[in-house]
Structure 1
Amino acid sequence: MILDNRGLEPPQPMMRTLAALETLKDGETLTIINDRRPMFLYEQLDELGYSYETAERNDGSFQITITKG
């Protein structure tokens, strides 16, 4: 699943991401695209036990791949 959060003002990207993560089953992945690096989201992901990888895209946005479990 890909969630494009570009163009949204905080805290909307984080709220949308956390809501989408609730639908994942163990081992499933969510990819989000944000205008900026989601520093506060990383703290939440660590607390909830998700793993994630971040890559900066050519347009300056960030792609974060989040895996449950």
Structure 2
Amino acid sequence: MILDNRGLEPPQPMMRTLSALEDLNAKEALVIINDRRPMFLFAELDELGHHYETEEQGDGSFRITITKSGE
């Protein structure tokens, strides 16, 4: 699943991402694309125990792959 959060103002990207994660099963992945590095989201993902990998794109956006933790 890919969630394109570009063009949205905070906190919309974080809210959309966390909502989409709730719909996933454990170990499933969600890819998000954000205009900026989502520092507050990273703190929340760490707290929830989800794994994520970040790739900065050529246009300055960020592609983050989030794997939902096992429950």
The interval holding the TM-score normalised by the smaller chain is over 0.9
- Structure 1, unmatched stretches of 5+, are none
Partner deviation per Cα, 1:10-63 (whole Å, 9 max, x = no partner): 000000000000011011000000000000000000011100000000111000
Report the TM-score when normalising by structure 1. Answer: 0.98
In the alignment, which residue of structure 2 is the partner of 1:36?
36
Report the TM-score when normalising by structure 2. Answer: 0.95
**CA distance in structure 2 between the partners assigned to 1:34 and 1:68 by the alignment:** 18
Q: Percent identity?
A: 75
Q: How many residues align?
A: 69
In the alignment, which residue of structure 2 is the partner of 1:64?
64
Q: Is the partner of 1:52 in helix, strand or coil?
A: strand
Residue 7 of structure 1 and its aligned partner are, at CA, apart by 0.2
In the alignment, which residue of structure 1 is the partner of 2:45?
45
RMSD (CA atoms): 0.4
In the alignment, which residue of structure 2 is the partner of 1:18?
18
